[in-house]
Amino acid sequence: MALSPGWRAVRSSGFLLFPWGTGSLLDPKMKAFLEENTEVTSSGTLTPEIQLRLLTPRCKFWWERADLWPLRDPYWAIYWPGGQALSRYLLDNPDVVRGRSVLDIGSGCGATAIAAKMSGALRILANDIDPIAGMAITLNCELNQLNPFPILIKNILDLEQDKWDLVVLGDMFYDEDLADSLLQWLKNCFETHRTQVLIGDPGRPQFSGHSIQHQLHKVAEYSLPEPTRQDNNGLTTSTVWQFQP
């Protein structure tokens, strides 16, 4: 496959997993650990058509002492309400992604990138700082019978900006410093490339109280399913916003 200059820049500056070939790059021990400590599920979320390996009440570590978990916090084992809304929106509105290039920042379990792929995105990059998220995304692509897409394990906010038609961020505004850095990065992205930016968020204080609020246009709002409400301390809705600086 011929790579555009943008892709070569990403490859040379980041750690890219190319998981084509049914998970051949997955470390077998880590794969076994992930399979043993997650459950395949598609229920209780806004996107029942996407199957994911998640940490559920039927998994040992749901109940186990947190300090016994041998890896960094498994954000990738949760399908966050912001990502759920964004994925639902992409599945219901395939025109938003069809034939376009899509970057999913903070992809976690990869559900939003998977939704983009299911809706016909031409080119996808899933990005996360956690290498285990990269493995989980690869397994989740397999679960949904999709050819895995490239995954960049790196803080993309430190890299030169590539041109994307659409950047999506599910539940990424959970920390004030991260929110500030994201806002700056997204502004540059919009100003340089006129990139469309969609953000999914369930009304977290770090998002609702941030100055980004003055630059948003509401696109869709979803009522969260009961299991997601229970896992998220009373959050009841999740909203998709378009960033318009």
The answer to the question of residue 162 lying near ligand SAM (CB under 6 A) is no
Smallest distance from the beta carbon of 2 to ligand SAM, in angstroms? 27
Binding of residue 44 to ligand SAM (CB under 6 A): no
Chain center to CA of 224: 18
- Cα distance between residue 62 and residue 38, in whole Å: 9
Summarize the chain as % helix, strand, coil (round to 5).
40, 20, 40
165 contributes a contact to ligand SAM by CB under 6 A: no
| Cβ closest to ligand SAM, residue 22 vs residue 184 | 184
Query: Could you say which of 34, 172, 197, 212 contacts ligand SAM (CB under 6 A)?
Result: 172
In the complex with ligand SAM, the residue whose CB is nearer, 26 or 125, is 125
Q: Does 164 bind ligand SAM (CB under 6 A)?
A: no
Instruction: Yes or no: say if 224 and 238 are a contact pair by the CB < 8 Å rule.
Output: yes
Q: Pick the closer one to ligand SAM by CB: 21 or 109.
A: 109
| Cα→Cα distances 87→6, 48, 112, 213, 232, Å | 25, 11, 5, 21, 18
Tell which one of 10, 16, 130, 140 touches ligand SAM (CB under 6 A): 130
The one-letter amino acid code at 99 reads G
Number of residues in contact with ligand SAM under rule CB under 6 A: 26
Spatial distance between the Cα atoms of 125 and 194, rounded to a whole number of angstroms: 18
Interacting residues with ligand SAM (CB under 6 A):
75-76, 79-80, 82-83, 105-109, 111-112, 127-130, 133, 155-157, 170-172, 174, 178
